[in-house]
């Protein structure tokens, strides 16, 4: 006998399970809306569905396989049958990593998990640590972005189904790559039948997609368990290393215990049980550090969140675009602020929103790796009218500058597939809706949306046209020719440098300093002994390093030249310079040297007063003694501070 169960409080009289074309009655269990029933002679991989009050047979809300699409019957699936080869894998920590976002359907020509495995060595050679998959939960049609998933527990069959995803994760772990999965809990795709089972949605809150997912109204206990159970399934049964939570600002939850905090606690408990590091990364429009503040400190306890402000500041600075939400950005002051304070809108005025926005980040307590910085992602490309990448706008030189700002920044860097070679292929908004009315509404709505911003209808691709999808597939032959070859080499160089120099992964934001010249259009960031220099202007610029430069660790242009404590930067150039370690404060050096030499001139042993000894104690260090050669001064240091170093 095999047992089937389903949460269906909406059922008035009966619930039946249909297995292999035959219906079996189910019985109500308690008063929470659960029904269960036993079915004899069920074999592995059998198709089934549920009927509510004698209605149509519907797929299981917790279906693990949907071989016939989102409206077809579900199929049983046993997670235990897959043979994993990653028993020693302990997860990939987010801090210090570089993330690579990819869409399975357009990453390769075949658009499958198995085909993507064939490109993993490229990612390892590039130097990234973590792969972030766009949503793979079962969605309508053959191709799409995946954010309109309907069967949230099933893997999209055209990608390769559940075993295909497991093979991909297993192959990633074999190459030392962690895997994150993008999941969507703020809405469910149009055409879902969840409301036939129970109160999965509520009219108490309104979202851009209609009634909100029910997180705080009657019946919401089971809905929350449905979502949290789904998250734990991906992490536990698919060996994923973390989840990216889509648009969490659209999760309407008025409970004292927010679902994000509850989810973070459950994931932390699972990580302890599995002895594996698990991460949760949020996308949020609120600019609220509470998301990544620990639960002990009153936050939600998520691992990290995307930082759109950093993206907007970099994008507007290098492209000159000022339309839409870019109207608040573009200045080097904005770029410098997001480089050092995370958010540009940290309670300040937002002209785009017509109100104040955001909240300040305590840079003395909040580590920088809890925020993701990026030049491009699926939203920032695909939500443009033509889906054009930044490589369609910028010269290769400026692409290198923009990439340098991200990959040497204090935040966890993320790339979007193809960015590493400056891909020419667009990444457009494409759908394959199976309802004709929805397909028409989406296509017309998108054209109307951009018409309001001055774009003609002919310039906005039809999302339902298969050609829009096919145009968005990467062309892997590009990376073997210029200028793509040079851009790819630059990305590899910067990722390797980030790995080699601890200053670049140091999460202490209070140690990051940024100087800039708005008129000359240059930015200089100080990170320990390193100087990150970017010239966005049209003329050569001389940038003050503050210390003598001793080495050029990376340069996008051969014209970059160090001259003592300055660096000359050609237009559209980027460089990372190592400077000499700073010596002691000159005033204290003079104080020490003068006092000691005067004492020696009078023939007395140079012992200073207690207060002065305290003042100079920090100066009498190994660094200072290595720079001062006079034996008298060395003896004075030895006498007054105990910092005895033999000449």
Q: Who's near 486: CB < 8 A, 6+ residues apart?
A: 396
User: What does the DSSP 8-state code read for residue 384?
Assistant: S
* Dist. CA 169–CA 425, nearest whole Å: 26
Strands 573-579 and 57-58: unpaired
- Determine which one of 182, 246, 261, 478 is catalytic: 246
- The region that residue 357 occupies, defined by phi over 0 for left and psi between -120 and 50 for alpha, beta otherwise, is beta
Provide the 10 A C-beta neighbour count for residue 299.
Answer: 18
DSSP-based three-state secondary structure for 526: strand
Output phi, psi for 86, to 5 deg: -115, 40
User: What does the DSSP 8-state code read for residue 582?
Assistant: P
* Dist. CA 40–CA 422, nearest whole Å: 57
CA angle 143, 149, 155 (to 5 degrees): 75
Q: Please give the distance of CA 46 from its chain centroid, rounded to a whole number.
A: 38
DSSP-based three-state secondary structure for 585: coil
CA angle 483, 486, 492 (to 5 degrees): 140
2 forms beta bridges with 39
Residue with tokens 């030049």: 375
* Dist. CA 461–CA 465, nearest whole Å: 8
DSSP-based three-state secondary structure for 139: coil
Comparing C-alpha atoms, which of 55, 31, 54, 71 is closest to residue 151? Answer: 71
* Secondary structure E strands in 228-336: 242-245, 279-282, 304-306
Is 54 within 8 Å of 64 (Cβ atoms)? no
- Determine which one of 283, 288, 309, 419 is catalytic: 283
* Dist. CA 203–CA 520, nearest whole Å: 54
Is 637 within 8 Å of 630 (Cβ atoms)? no
183 forms beta bridges with 245
Calculate Rg over the CA atoms of the chain. 29
DSSP-based three-state secondary structure for 483: coil
Is 32 within 8 Å of 39 (Cβ atoms)? no
* Dist. CA 442–CA 473, nearest whole Å: 21
* Dist. CA 592–CA 604, nearest whole Å: 16
Active site residue 246: yes
Contacts 24+ apart (CB under 8 A), 378-385: 378/101, 378/103, 378/134, 378/145, 378/416, 378/427, 380/311, 380/315, 381/416, 381/426, 381/427, 382/145, 382/427, 382/428, 382/429, 383/429, 385/450, 385/453, 385/455, 385/459, 385/460
Name the residues annotated as catalytic. 246, 283
């Amino acid at each position: 006998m095999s047992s089937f169960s389903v949460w269906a409080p909406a059922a008035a009289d009966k619930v039946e399970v249909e297995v292999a074309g035959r219906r079996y009655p189910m019985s109500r269990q308690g008063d929470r809306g659960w029904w269960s029933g036993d079915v004899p002679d069920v074999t592995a991989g059998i198709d089934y569905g549920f009927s509510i009050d004698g209605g149509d047979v519907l797929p299981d809300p917790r279906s693990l396989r949907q071989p016939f699409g989102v409206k077809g019957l579900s199929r049983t699936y046993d997670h235990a049958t897959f043979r994993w080869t990653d028993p020693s894998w302990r997860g990939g920590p987010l801090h210090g990593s570089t993330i690579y976002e990819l869409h399975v359907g357009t990453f390769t020509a075949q658009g499958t998990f198995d085909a993507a495995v064939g490109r993993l060595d490229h990612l390892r050679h590039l130097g990234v640590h973590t792969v972030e998959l766009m949503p793979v939960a079962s969605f309508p049609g053959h191709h799409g972005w995946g954010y309109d998933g309907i069967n949230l527990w099933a893997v999209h069959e055209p990608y390769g189904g559940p075993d295909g995803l497991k093979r991909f994760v297993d192959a990633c772990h074999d190459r030392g790559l962690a895997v994150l999965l993008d999941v969507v809990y703020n809405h469910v795709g149009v055409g879902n039948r969840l409301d036939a089972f129970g109160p999965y949605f509520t009219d108490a809150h309104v979202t851009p997609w209609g009634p909100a997912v029910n997180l705080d109204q009657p019946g919401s206990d089971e809905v929350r368990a449905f979502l949290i159970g789904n998250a734990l399934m991906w992490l536990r049964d698919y060996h994923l290393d973390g989840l990216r939570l889509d648009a969490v600002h659209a999760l309407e939850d008025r409970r004292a215990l927010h679902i994000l905090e509850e989810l973070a606690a459950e994931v932390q408990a699972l990580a302890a049980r599995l002895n594996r590091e698990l991460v949760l990364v949020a996308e949020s429009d609120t600019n609220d550090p509470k998301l990544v503040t620990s639960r002990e400190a009153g936050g939600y306890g998520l691992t990290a969140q995307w930082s759109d402000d950093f993206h907007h500041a970099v994008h507007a600075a290098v492209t000159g675009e000022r339309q839409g939400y870019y109207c608040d950005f573009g200045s080097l002051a904005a770029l410098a602020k997001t480089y050092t304070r995370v958010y540009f809108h940290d309670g300040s005025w937002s002209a785009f929103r017509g109100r104040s926005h955001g909240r300040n980040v305590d840079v003395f307590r909040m580590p920088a790796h809890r925020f993701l910085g990026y030049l491009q992602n699926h939203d920032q490309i695909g939500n443009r009218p033509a889906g054009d990448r930044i490589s369609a706008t910028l010269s290769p030189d400026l692409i290198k500058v923009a990439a340098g700002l991200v990959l040497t920044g204090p935040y966890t860097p993320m790339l979007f597939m193809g960015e590493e070679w400056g891909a020419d292929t667009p990444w457009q908004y494409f759908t394959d809706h199976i309802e004709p009315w929805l397909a028409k509404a989406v296509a017309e709505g998108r054209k109307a949306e951009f018409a309001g911003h001055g774009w003609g209808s002919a310039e906005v691709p039809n999302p339902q046209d298969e050609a829009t999808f096919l145009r968005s597939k990467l062309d892997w032959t590009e990376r073997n020719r210029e200028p793509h070859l040079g851009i790819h080499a630059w990305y590899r160089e910067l990722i390797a440098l980030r790995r080699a120099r601890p200053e670049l992964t140091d999460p202490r934001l209070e140690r990051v300093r940024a100087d800039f010249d708005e008129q000359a259009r240059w930015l200089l960031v100080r990170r320990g002994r390193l100087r990150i220099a970017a010239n966005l202007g049209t003329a050569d610029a001389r940038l003050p390093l503050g210390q003598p430069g001793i080495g050029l660790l990376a340069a996008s242009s051969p014209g970059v030249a160090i001259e003592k404590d300055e660096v000359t930067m050609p237009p559209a150039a980027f460089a990372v310079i190592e400077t000499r370690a700073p010596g002691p404060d000159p005033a204290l050096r003079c104080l020490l040297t003068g006092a000691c030499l005067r004492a020696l001139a009078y023939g007395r042993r140079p012992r200073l007063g207690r207060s002065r000894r305290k003042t100079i104690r920090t100066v009498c260090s190994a660094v200072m003694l290595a720079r001062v050669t006079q034996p008298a001064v060395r003896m004075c240091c030895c006498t007054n501070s105990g910092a005895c170093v033999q000449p």
